[in-house]
Structure 1
Amino acid sequence: MSLDHLLQTNPRTTPAAVGSFHPVRVIAVTGGKGGVGKTNLSVNLASALAAMGKRTLLMDADLGLANVDVLLGLSPRFTLADLVAGRCQLDEVIVEGPDGLLVVPASSGFRHMAELSPAEHIGLVNVFSELQRALDVMIVDTAAGITDSVLTFCQAAQDTLVVVCDEPASITDAYALIKVLSRERGVDRVHVVANMVRDPNEGRRLYEKLARVCERFLGDVALHYLGAVPQDDWLRRAVQRQQPVVKAYPGSPSARAINEISRIAARWQPPTGARGNVEFFVERLISARSMAI
């Protein structure tokens, strides 16, 4: 399988058209292990940003076991598997969710999607440069672990958000992920969200536990605590309704916590230029850098 067809210039895309859009802040949401609630956080973070008026795109980057579309109750015609196979363009994959949220769905149960090569992961990142949409932020819901897809999508984002919960394996695996991102991909700043906590103090303790280990063994990595999302039965009910909890139950504890995290992320400024490695929307970044000179 090859992504060569994705890397060819789309006849509908011109440098002038790409340059007319400002840079997009890309946030990769990930976790060292599965089961920490990163997809729920991704969906609700994107939904909250869209409700604030941010032009938001949510990419399901768990290529082999995707479920963003399920959590939002969407029925996409195409997925990233169709894009990789050359059956559609990226713009045709995008479906619209609540409050104008744009969603790039992936496929579930397609083993070949989980086994794409490193070059093909970079091809998926690069194809976003031809997207003709005005955007403010993109949330990338990665798979769990330290696979190449996770590392590449985190490297290609401006911000990496690691989700942890109160399990020893969650902290251990989060540290392993941060270590690999730092040493192999040059990611030196990581945001942390503690999920499914019993109280705010537990969230802070989880962060401090991870921060101590990183400070001891990874002195060049800066960790930032974004907050904690409580264990909340309303979140489970929202999942059953296939709706974000921030929409279905906006007064619930989990919705209030996620909205606060979203308000912090909404204040992050768009990037001012390309960093010189693999990045989403790189043409827009290059354009921004050239205009600033």
Structure 2
Amino acid sequence: MPAANAPLASPAPLTPVRSIAVTGGKGGVGKTNLSVNLAASLALLGKRTLLLDADLGLANVDVLLGLSPQNTLADLVSGRCELDDIILEGPAGMLVVPAASGRRHMAELQPAQHVGLVNVFNDLQRQLDVLVVDTAAGITDSVLTFCQAAQDAIVVVCDEPASITDAYALIKVLARERGVDRMQVVANMVRNPAEGRALYDKLARVCERFLGDVSLNFLGAVPHCDWLRMAVQRQQAVATAYPASASARAIAEIARRAARWEPPVAARGNIEFFMDRMIRQGAVA
């Protein structure tokens, strides 16, 4: 037992956090389902995981997980609470930052307010390994800012012409306007792995032809799966509700690949989630 006057042990320094933005050129490609289940799968691998619902005006991460938030990002933006006050616990011990649905003013935040939302994570005093950010669809400022602020951007595509066209448009804008020149691709709702690879190859060929300086990587494919639909209806993550299902196993493999990505060792000198943690390490680029 320590002596009465012994100094208290200093808390462990906060470790760097790997941030992953999950995005897609259009709605309906399964982006939020991938975000939720990627976060749950990372948590099942022992990663301390935080899932941020960054679809600010039409949030539904809490609905997919059957959570009932008392406060959301709308309360944080209005100054009614702190970030720590809105964090919920989700499946497998993952943490969730819920956003608000049907709040028009949240969908119309100014660019400086999007940057402010990224910077507020500097004040979060929790040990984390991974932040998964579920963005809105499209090429709005919020999508671009959250993707720019993450170390990795995952673009979700499915096998329909509008998905490929809009994914290309998003990749082009991220590269040209925000300097994001390296992206991961997940093919969703495919019939088999070969279809997923062909879908990636189609997108990669277009990007190689017109955006030669952008690097794409095929992260994996998630099949059509009735168990995933059942999990959605039950407001559960398929990763925890039906871990042996085809979709859960595919997302678990994607999570294993993402879990091998090293945490950042240097700030990039631009907007970035948890930048202060890297600066405190003396690891400014």
TM-score above 0.5, yes or no:
yes
CA distance in 2, matches of 1:22, 1:118: 28
CA distance in 1, matches of 2:113, 2:13: 27
The structure 1 residue matched to 2:199, chosen from 195, 199, 206, is: 206
In the superposition, the TM-score normalised over structure 2's length comes to 0.95
SS of 1:88's partner is coil
Partner of 1:231: 224
Partner of 1:259: 252
Q: CA deviation at 1:292?
A: 8.5
Partner of 2:7: none
Unaligned runs of 5+ in 2: 1-9
Q: CA deviation at 1:20?
A: 1.5
Partner of 1:69: 62
Q: CA deviation at 1:281?
A: 0.5
The structure 1 residue matched to 2:184, chosen from 191, 196, 199, is: 191
Do the aligned partners of 2:20 and 2:132 also contact (CA within 8 Å) in 1?
A: yes
Residue 42, structure 1, aligned to residue 1, structure 2: no
CA distance in 1, matches of 2:91, 2:185: 26
CA distance in 2, matches of 1:101, 1:246: 12
Do the aligned partners of 2:266 and 2:283 also contact (CA within 8 Å) in 1?
A: no
Residue 107, structure 1, aligned to residue 95, structure 2: no
Q: CA deviation at 1:99?
A: 1.8
The structure 2 residue matched to 1:33, chosen from 1, 26, 31, is: 26
CA distance in 2, matches of 1:206, 1:149: 27
Q: CA deviation at 1:291?
A: 5.6
Report matched runs for 1:10-29 at 5 Å.
20-29=13-22
Q: CA deviation at 1:50?
A: 0.6
**Structure of greater Rg:** 2
Q: 1:123 to 1:248 in 2, by over 3 A?
A: same
Residue 284, structure 1, aligned to residue 277, structure 2: yes
Partner of 1:5: none
Q: CA deviation at 1:29?
A: 0.0
The structure 1 residue matched to 2:47, chosen from 48, 54, 76, is: 54
Percent sequence identity is 76
CA distance in 1, matches of 2:163, 2:24: 8
Partner of 1:173: 166
Taking only aligned residues, the RMSD between alpha carbons, in angstroms, comes to: 1.3
CA distance in 1, matches of 2:94, 2:248: 17
Q: 1:37 to 1:82 in 2, by over 3 A?
A: same
Partner of 1:161: 154
Unaligned runs of 5+ in 1: 1-15
Q: CA deviation at 1:286?
A: 1.2
